[in-house]
Amino acid sequence: MYEIGLTYRRQIIWNYENGFSGYKNTLAAHYEPMLWFSKGESYTFNEIREPYKSTERLKHKITKNGKVWTPHPDGRIAGDVWKFPTLAGRRFKDEKVDHPTQKPLSISERIIKHFSNESELVLIPFSGSGSECVASKKLKRNFISFELNEDYIKIANQRLEALDTEIEVTI
């Protein structure tokens, strides 16, 4: 990444909220690292907030070192550990496709929201089953994606075509 002129920004940890591991005879995997790089010194970053664990903190002001802090009504600023479930079990039967490492649409949407704006171009170098492509299209971003496996290209295209139908019906 450095050799092609990208700048490292941050590591993000995807914590498997539902504890899926997929490993036998070893430690269970509970997370996957993601690396955030940007092209050049300027980059897009949109703040995302997460609900507080307790609504109690919304009821009280906090005074620390003489400064009063009032909780933000939309929650805390998202950090670098993201808790999203993997696509395991019946709960995800409508989203899961035939790809061994498919990412949930929810995490793909979060990535696209955080690091791009509407109408911008998103580069997806390993598109797999197309989760980031679908997220980009839903969130009104343009995208260019690459994938070598023809079976996965078909899956991604089917998902994008289904999204077109969904959008046409809801308009």
Distance from C-alpha of 100 to C-alpha of 76, rounded to nearest angstrom:
33
| DSSP symbol at 28 | P
What CATH architecture is 6-170?
3-Layer(aba) Sandwich (3.40)
Pairing of strands 6-16, 81-84: parallel
Mean pLDDT by 10 residues, the chain (171 residues): 92 88 80 91 93 80 86 91 91 92 95 96 94 97 96 96 69 43
pLDDT score recorded for residue 122? 94
**Residue 10's pLDDT is what?**
95
What pLDDT shows up at residue 56?
Answer: 78
DSSP letter, residue 165: H
| pLDDT, tens digit (0-9, with 9 covering 90-100), for 77-127 | 999 999 999 998 888 999 999 999 999 999 999 999 999 999 999 999 999
Among 122, 113, 114, 117, which Cα is nearest to 143's? 122
What residue spans define the domains of the chain? 6-170
Instruction: Compute, in degrees rounded to 10, the torsion defined by CA atoms 139, 144, 145, 151.
Output: 90
